[in-house]
Structure 1
């Protein structure tokens, strides 16, 4: 995968950058010689791990990802030392029906029953059977930023990018897998595309109903080697917004396989 990204970037660098021609699949040159491989279609933030996300027009990226993304999670009692203590939609699909939102510096969670609780309210902890925990660096499974293309979502028949819980949804005619190993500028930030995003049963959960449909996961396994989308790290913090171009700026650090 690392070699694919590097070869694609070499093709970009060596291409004659005439209008609309880059030498790389899915790229264009509409900005006076700047290679554009995609544009931001949507920005998502998840104040509480595995609960519903917020759709934003713009967001700030810090070293630890989207500001206020996944800073809260719920810990399963007795599972703190097993390597993955977090309560997720794998155990409770109805978590995706809990809708957190930021109110000032407070996170308020609306339950499927319509009740609202502060995220640290003991009543919410009792309802979920898990205790809240805040981590300023985020409760990420693997990396602080996740990205998927509308093309990849369509390829597995998902219909809705929310199943994949991405921070960035990008429109591109190419393949975001080819970006692994690159550093890309997005708005005022720079991201290093580290590796493909291996998927689990959470993608089977319908974000509107909480019901499971394993056909999407089967499609990923069948045609995409259980990975869809990519993980990224923040190289330069900055602000990103819907409509921002995705522009390769260099080869990044070696991709993590």
Structure 2
């Protein structure tokens, strides 16, 4: 019996961190991931943190905004302007006068839209009260405050595996349709829409179940040239539970992962995981439908 072919099911780019992004037919993977991905971010001018939906009390409004490039970005160049569609349907470009004021009004905090990394960039993450989500010692050691709900807030450096970027951790996030299907089987009442997980590449085909678990440490070849190295499983967070666009809030999505797929990450403890992080070994153009080989 022949092995099922794995292919690229969809490609996604998020020009502004934590805003909704673009679904692509093709993309360029460069030495900093998908070219243009997380090219911009909002910097809180009051406390110096980078805005992230992982602190929903402060930044949930970002998940109701969408960003797209007005021209295709190119690796190694200053990113082109982005067009931002606000929750009320109004549209501004990143180079329009008053865009920072409009963004500040929309999120309720003083912010500045930036594409240059501030050097010591940090973001905040809220830990919802979900058993098995993350190692208690990690939460305790990074704690910087408490929400009115009693949930712990951590402050963490950005781009720990991708210094100088606006990524939370790594350059690429890869997720399989098999994982989403398995989660839906485990809890048919929860909503495992792929948009909740913000992957760059969604892969289809291959074995059923949590197939990405077996990819860690391997090189994945995509299309004719691109090669990515899978570094670790993706630890899931509160963002997967939040309302965005036409998706309602659904805490059951994260509870299901924490109940059924807790995995040991070497040196970091046991986490609720779905998908994998990866680095770039060789860049190239990737298209929907491209064959994927491990």
How does the TM-score come out when normalised to structure 2? 0.68
Alignment pair present for 1:126 and 2:99 = no
8 Å contact from structure 1 (residues 60, 240) kept in 2:
yes
Distance verdict in 2 for CA 1:52–1:181, change over 3 Å? same
Residue 138 (structure 1) shift: 3.5
Change (3 A) 1:156 1:135: farther
When structure 1 is superposed on structure 2, of 167-176 and 120-129 the one drifting more is 120-129
Find the aligned partners of 2:45 and 2:290 in 1 and give their Cα distance. Answer: 42
> 1:207 and 2:174 equivalent?
no
* Residue 246 (structure 1) shift: 1.1
- Tell me whether 1:40 sits opposite 2:73 in the alignment: no
What is the alpha-carbon distance in structure 2 between the residues aligned to residue 86 and residue 166 of structure 1? 20
Structure 1: stretches of 5+ with no match in the other structure: 1-18, 21-26, 29-35, 249-257
User: What is the DSSP-based 3-state SS (H/G/I as helix, E as strand, rest coil) of the residue aligned with 1:148?
Assistant: strand
Q: Secondary structure at the match of 2:7?
A: strand
In the TM superposition, residue 230 of structure 1 has moved relative to its aligned partner by 0.2
* Unmatched 5+ stretches in structure 2: 72-79, 118-163, 185-190, 263-271
Mean Cα deviation higher: 136-145 or 167-176: 136-145
- What is the 5 A alignment of 1:55-74? 55-74=23-42
Q: Is the contact made by 2:94 and 2:113 (CA closer than 8 Å) also made in structure 1?
A: yes
C-alpha deviation, 1:172, in angstroms: 2.6
Asked if the contact 1:101/1:109 (under 8 Å) is kept, the reply is yes
Is the Cα contact below 8 Å between 2:192 and 2:253 reproduced in 1?
no
The structural deviation recorded for 1:210 is: 6.1
In structure 1, the partner of 2:275 is: 229
- Counterpart among 65, 90, 94 of residue 98 in structure 1: 65
Moved over 6 A (4+): none
Report the CA distance between 1:177 and its aligned residue: 1.4
Partner of 2:203: 170
SS where residue 96 of structure 1 aligns? helix
Does 1:185 pair with 2:231?
no
Secondary structure at the aligned position of 1:47 is classed as: coil
**Alpha-carbon deviations, 1:153-178, whole Å to 9, x = none?**
12223341110000001113320110
Q: In the alignment, what sits opposite 2:194?
A: 161
- Mapped to 2, the partners of 1:77 and 1:221 lie a distance apart of 34
Distance in structure 2 (CA, Å) of the matches to 1:56 and 1:49: 17
Query: In 2, Cα distance between the equivalents of 1:73 and 1:59?
Result: 20
Deviation (angstroms), 1:211: 4.0
CA distance in 1, matches of 2:104, 2:247: 20
- The one of 55, 62, 87 aligned to 2:51: 87
